[in-house]
Structure 1
Amino acid sequence: MAKERLDVLLVSKGYFKSREKAKGAIMAGLVFVDGERHDKPGSQHNIDCHIEIKGKPDKYVSRGGLKLEKAVKEFNITLKDCICVDVGASTGGFTDVMLQNGAKKVYSVDVGYGQLAWELRNDPRVVCMERTNFRYITNEDINEDLDFGSVDVSFISLKLILPPLKNLLKPGGKVVCLIKPQFEAGREKVGKKGVVKDPSVHEEVINKVIDIAVGLGFAVLGLSYSPIKGPEGNIEYLLYLINGDNSNEIDVDVAAVVSEAHSELT
């Protein structure tokens, strides 16, 4: 019996219009094959297998929520009653994940305007901070210590975002940063349409961001990869940090994470 990748099967059988959406649903744990959950897009299955989609694929206001959802699950992050910041909130996918996991308040910060989903904009737990460049944010703008922060920004390096974020976090506060190689690598290493495909460049970029974070006083608690690619097809990575306390710091295997990401997403 012929076999095919699970994400390809989902598209060919009409469950999803694109492999990207199929991968997101698979890695969110929504896809069952012959009664068993499978969360690897590249897993091989008989083409006549029985597939079920359980749950709502679009359970957040944007597909970006799947990125933070994976981090919350994989790193076992507790957000109940936390005061959080969503840096680069856009439509609010990360904000939505925080709220659905019990966050008490979320400061949704973005340099743009009019992007945050209406339902989040009207949620009393959300403080919408539009037209706000996080690089220049201070404790006067957010006048309380934060328990958790997420970062999903474009066209700017994390080296410019992590310092002001650290100043807002309480000791022991946690952070999930989305590392985007195309905005961290040198211009000469970025390919057509802003895509960085070389795994060695991905490793270089991740190690650079880790060095920056540690130099600022963060400790590394985990590293993984986003379950879905960025808009232009870039693989992105999830870095989990803690402010100060390094008692639970781990020595992440960057090469192994990059290898697994490329195996699953390319």
Structure 2
Amino acid sequence: MAKERADILLAKQGLFNSRTQAQRAIMAGLVCDHNHQRIDKSGTSFPSDEQFFIKNSGKKYVSRGGLKLEKALKVFNIDLTDKICLDIGASTGGFTDVALQNGAKLVYALDVGYNQLAWQLRDDLRVEVMEKQNFRYSKPEDFTKGLPDFAMTDVSFISLDLIMPPMYQILKDQCEAVCLIKPQFEAGPENVGKHGIVNDHHVHCAVIKHTIEQALAIGFNVLAVDYSPIKGGKGNIEFLIHLQKNERDGGKLIWPNTPAEIVERAVKGL
């Protein structure tokens, strides 16, 4: 079996977001091999399927993205105890990690990519890994361990316009969802500035308004909107929208505030 450097494997397996982070952890003595022997050098070679163990470094979740869902659960008052969750765009697994730490009994970790999910989540019996799957084409029958009671999504390079319709079809009735609104992937290229950053707050407002309208048209109730507690990787302000599927009484805007109010709060808070 081919071998690679420890820092490269740690990044590939999603245990760290970059080789640099992996190197720092190795230097700090936080990384062990499958025999629980500490790894001293980033350049040490290991088989590509090596199982690493990471000592507690103070990180609450496997990725910083978990902080976004953490806020949503708190401000939207969402209880995930014993729920089946669907993580759309799972990537490293920040949202999946938060769901498990908040009592979810099962999480479908779905992503169009491959081999990104952190290994401690991949090996967790409560996680159903669904890799190489484009959620746009997902159907209820794909979820063989029960339909989700809660859906959460953090996707890139695709609009929520294409994610929310199948999410509505798959989610159980009377259940909720949280979507991360990323203006850089919703606003259109003409509204995105240098380095993929949206700076115009009028565009932020327009994106939130459009997402609300699309959710209502699909049949979701829009319960609330707030801003993400951290900016995206390139510095973009992002937003959280709280939805509910209600087949008998859906398509209602329950949220009493305006996009402009949330954008103003985000600018002040971030």
> Shorter chain as normaliser: what TM range?
0.7 to 0.9
Supply the distance in 1 between the matched residues of 2:142 and 2:119 (Cα, whole angstroms): 23
Q: Does residue 269 of structure 2 align to residue 264 of structure 1?
A: yes
Write out per-residue CA displacement over residues 53-76 of structure 1, whole angstroms, 9 at most, x where no aligned residue: xxx852101110000000001111
Supply the distance in 2 between the matched residues of 1:253 and 1:74 (Cα, whole angstroms): 17
In structure 2, the partner of 1:121 is: 122
In structure 2, the partner of 1:137 is: 138
Q: CA deviation at 1:222?
A: 1.1
Write out per-residue CA displacement over residues 66-107 of structure 1, whole angstroms, 9 at most, x where no aligned residue: 000000011110000001100000000000000000001100
In structure 1, the partner of 2:258 is: 253
Q: CA deviation at 1:243?
A: 0.5
List alignment gaps of at least 5 residues for structure 1.
Answer: 1-55
In structure 2, the partner of 1:48 is: none
Of all paired residues, the percent bearing the same amino acid is 58
In structure 2, the partner of 1:104 is: 105
State the Cα RMSD in Å.
1.6
In structure 2, the partner of 1:216 is: 218
Supply the distance in 2 between the matched residues of 1:154 and 1:250 (Cα, whole angstroms): 25
The SS at the match of 2:69 is helix
In structure 2, the partner of 1:78 is: 79
The SS at the match of 2:214 is helix
The SS at the match of 1:140 is helix
Q: CA deviation at 1:248?
A: 8.8
Partner AA of 2:159 in structure 1: S
Q: CA deviation at 1:109?
A: 0.3
Q: CA deviation at 1:249?
A: 2.3
In structure 2, the partner of 1:91 is: 92
List alignment gaps of at least 5 residues for structure 2.
Answer: 1-56
Instruction: Name whichever of 93-102 and 138-147 sits farther off.
Output: 138-147
Supply the distance in 1 between the matched residues of 2:177 and 2:62 (Cα, whole angstroms): 21
Write out per-residue CA displacement over residues 217-243 of structure 1, whole angstroms, 9 at most, x where no aligned residue: 001111111111111110000000001
Residues 205-244 of structure 1: matches in 2 within 5 Å? 205-244=207-246
